[in-house]
Amino acid sequence: MFAAAYEELRRMATSVKRSDPASTLTPTTLVHAAWVKLVASHTFAANSELHFKRVAARAMRQLLVEAARRRKAEKRGGPQAALVTFDEALDAPIEHEEEVIALHDALNELERLNPRQALMVEVRFFGGLPVAEAARLLGISEETVHRDWRAAKAWLAHEVRRAR
């Protein structure tokens, strides 16, 4: 399931463009769209959507980290060929690859300290799960999700800033 989710998310996210003001895209819709697509292909009909979302969040994380690493490598390799794409009118993208890699590392550290909290961050940030669904998935109260999220966010943000 992971591989399929990964591929689907990758295919979808590849064409995501950040500056479309009319876009209604969020991790929630993306993951949901991937779910709908995968369900339609009958690969996962037997699995629960919530479980899928957990897997999808992991896939999303992996996707981002890989993309960030590749981008970093490409930058060292010199400028890319200019292509005429839908994006050509856009400003140069903000450079997030360092941040993503730092976040990934910090999240690994958090996983060591508190696996449940790390999973919560993963499904919330990468999977776009709303608080209620995250609470249901982890078997904790919404209150706890809010509380853990706030602390984790502050700590992770600090770690990311420190790494740069």
Site residues for another protein per CB under 8 A? 10, 12-18, 20-27, 29-30, 33, 60, 63-64, 67-68, 71, 83-89, 93-94, 96-97, 99-100, 103, 109, 112-114, 121, 125-126, 128, 147-148, 150-151, 153-158, 160-161
Smallest gap, in angstroms, from Cβ of residue 147 to another protein? 7
For 18, phi then psi, to 5°, come to: -80, -25
CB atoms within 10 A of CB 38: 21
Smallest gap, in angstroms, from Cβ of residue 8 to another protein? 11
Q: Which is nearer to another protein, 46 or 92 (CB)?
A: 92
CA distance 109 to 126: 17
Q: Which is nearer to another protein, 49 or 98 (CB)?
A: 98
Q: Which of 114, 9, 5, 14 is nearest to 55 (CA)?
A: 5
Q: Which of 100, 105, 116 is nearest to 151 (CA)?
A: 116
Smallest gap, in angstroms, from Cβ of residue 47 to another protein? 22
